Amino acid sequence: MKKLIIFLIGCWLALGLSAAELPEDLDWQTNNEDPIFASPDAKRGGVFNMSLLSFPLTFRTVGPDSNTGFRSFILENQMGLYALHPDTERPIPALATHWAFADDNKTMFFKLNPDARWSDGKPVTTADFLFALEMMRSKVIRAPWYNNYYSEEIVDVTAFDEHTLSVTAGSEKSPRELLNTLGLTPQPKHFYELTDDWVRRYNWAEAPVTGAYVIDEVKRGRSISFKRLDDWWANDLTYYKHRFNVDHIRLNVVRDMNIAYRHFLRGNQDTFGLLLPEWWHDKTDSPEYRNGLIERIWFYNQEPQGAQGLHLNTAHPRLQDIRVRKGIAHAINMQRMLETILRGDYERMNTFGSGYGDFIQLDIKAREFDIQKARALFAEAGYDQQGPGGILRNGAGDNLSLSVTYTLQEHTPRLAILREEARKAGLDLKLNLVDGVTGFKVMLEKKHEGAWLGWGGGGLYPQYWEFFHSSNANQPQTNNLFNISDEQLDSLIEQYRVTMDLSEKAAISRNIQQRVDELAIFIPGYQVPYTREAYWRYVRLPESKGTRHSPSLFWPMEGAPYSSGGLFWIDEEQKVKMKSGKARYEPVLIIDETWRQAQ
């Protein structure tokens, strides 16, 4: 008997399971009643061709050099415990079939779907969630943000058996915020070993996933291909039927968008994003459009907007002076850029992100272009002498300049307008184009003066810790591109992370935005409350075209936190007709304002 007990204890420890008892009075919830947003007319099959501006530096999703555009193809192909319905915003089953909230306002309980499988066929169990917590806390992954989040925001994972677990937050939260915090993604315990060489060892590893696609073929520096799992475990789940329809996704590296567009017009790429006004207005009058072979859609959504604009690095000696930072803000003529280069299609952003309702401080207005105010502020900072070309300088002979690092050639005309206007205020903007992932790495390493970029939006609430907390300042591979270290901001952010009351949390959010504005470290750019895309006629969409939270209509993976991707399909019969070269149709332009918000 004693040997049996020892054996059983050993089994529990090997599985990483807890002997804790599951509460008996839990109110288990699920949701299979919300509207279906995929089309039953969708057809499986075909190859979907896309392009990447640069080849990723790693296949890892955490650690050095992992924060790239390609990362989303991996992250959004890993299912969480639940997802959010892209129209109703309510939780829907994913890896878990049911969930329940504990009375402590910190803990959620989950029942895993026993059919859930990794792409290598291994079952998904609670051990993978226990390992996820261990991995994200480990120093070997060299990911400070994850180390912090999985120590302070998610403080515990408890396994009751192979398919039942709980996840606990570090502070009391409302049910809505618990959903925003505790959507833990598992990590394959059977695949990873947390060794000191983890970053190098798994740099190009193709880790098992829980989503519909796996990496199929890699041509280093040239292309990455995915293939659909025919026996994907979630094929018949309520909200996953008729989705992820293409059999193969091929990502070709094309380092110039103009060349990528030519590939698209030749049929080597199936869709193309037309958010850029010059593309939408000037490059869609070719025979392919006039003959209805390529269709266009302007689809309004209600996606919260990530911050876009100019990030000032306060570690640079010149930018340590708030008068210089405020002067630069008044020397940036964003409105002229919007009205000319951007054709009035985009809207000015006023705060660090937008679209989060009460969490946004609507009283803040971005500093307007004002030459007199800019010059007065520069003079206060000592830049009161006129140098060559009208550029101001101080008594030490230091010219007033700002090097702006950016990653997209297509943004050069926008920044050229800003440079031209800034000279009127005595500021020399030096444009520093560093392509793709290399440019973003320069920013993460804090080697920039000003960084021109936009962050992804989404989520239920704005995020601030990674961007503004001092623990991320003067540290490589963090998102605090401002290198800001401010006690008032730190205090507000720490309150924001632990506050349970939503109205109080929203008030703190507004105060954070107010403080960011006061510090003049971010110059807001623009926001775009829609997606615009072109697609060959054989690429089909559901009748609804998209969802309330569709950032793109042709994203092949799931999307996060809203499960909005993988709704399109390839009509192979239509494709064959079009390849004959004789097909002609009426031109198609769709403007869908179903989800357009009142201005």
Dihedral of alpha carbons 270, 275, 279, 282, sign: positive
Please check whether residues 335 and 470 belong to one and the same domain: yes
pLDDT band at 151 (very low <50, low <70, confident <90, very high): very high
Lowest mean pLDDT among 11-15, 164-168, 267-271, 578-582: 11-15
pLDDT in tens, 555-594: 999 999 999 999 999 999 999 999 887 789 999 999 999 9
Per-residue CA distances from 232 to 42, 237, 551 (Å):
17, 11, 25
- Residue 25 belongs to a domain: yes
pLDDT band at 6 (very low <50, low <70, confident <90, very high): very low
The alpha helices in 487-581, defined as continuous H runs, are: 487-498, 502-519, 572-579
pLDDT band at 19 (very low <50, low <70, confident <90, very high): low
Cα(120)–Cα(304) distance, integer angstroms: 35
Residue 36 has pLDDT above 60, yes or no: yes
Mean pLDDT of 20-49: 96
* Backbone phi, psi, residue 159, to 5°: -105, 130
Mean pLDDT score across all residues of the chain: 94
Please check whether residues 182 and 316 belong to one and the same domain: no
Q: Which of 182, 201, 220 is the last residue of a domain?
A: 201
Task: Quote the domain boundaries for residue 166.
Answer: 2-201
Q: Identify each DSSP E strand in 85-239 by its residue range.
A: 91-93, 96-101, 107-112, 154-161, 164-169, 213-219, 223-228
- Residue 562 belongs to a domain: no
Kindly report whether the peptide bond that precedes residue 561 is cis, defined as omega within 30 degrees of 0: yes
Per-residue CA distances from 475 to 47, 351, 364, 455, 596 (Å):
42, 24, 29, 19, 40
pLDDT in tens, 287-306: 999 999 999 999 999 989 99
CATH code, domain carrying 141: 3.90.76.10
- Residue 492 belongs to a domain: yes
- Residue 183 belongs to a domain: yes
pLDDT band at 500 (very low <50, low <70, confident <90, very high): confident
State whether residue 526 is helix, strand or coil.
strand
- Residue 326 belongs to a domain: yes
Q: Identify each DSSP E strand in 301-436 by its residue range.
A: 308-312, 347-348, 385-386, 392-393, 401-406, 428-433
Q: Which of 160, 180, 201 is the last residue of a domain?
A: 201
pLDDT at site 11: 44
pLDDT at site 218: 98
- Residue 521 belongs to a domain: yes
- Residue 230 belongs to a domain: no
Query: Global pTM?
Result: 0.83
pLDDT band at 599 (very low <50, low <70, confident <90, very high): low
pLDDT at site 87: 96
pLDDT at site 563: 97
CATH code, domain carrying 395: 3.10.105.10
- Residue 486 belongs to a domain: yes
Q: Report the domain count for the chain.
A: 2
Q: Which of 490, 510, 527 is the last residue of a domain?
A: 527
Please check whether residues 197 and 314 belong to one and the same domain: no
DSSP string, 297-324: EEEE--PPBPPEEEEE-TTSGGGGSHHH
Is the Cβ–Cβ distance between 46 and 133 less than 8 Å?
no
pLDDT in tens, 323-353: 999 999 999 999 999 999 999 999 999 999 9
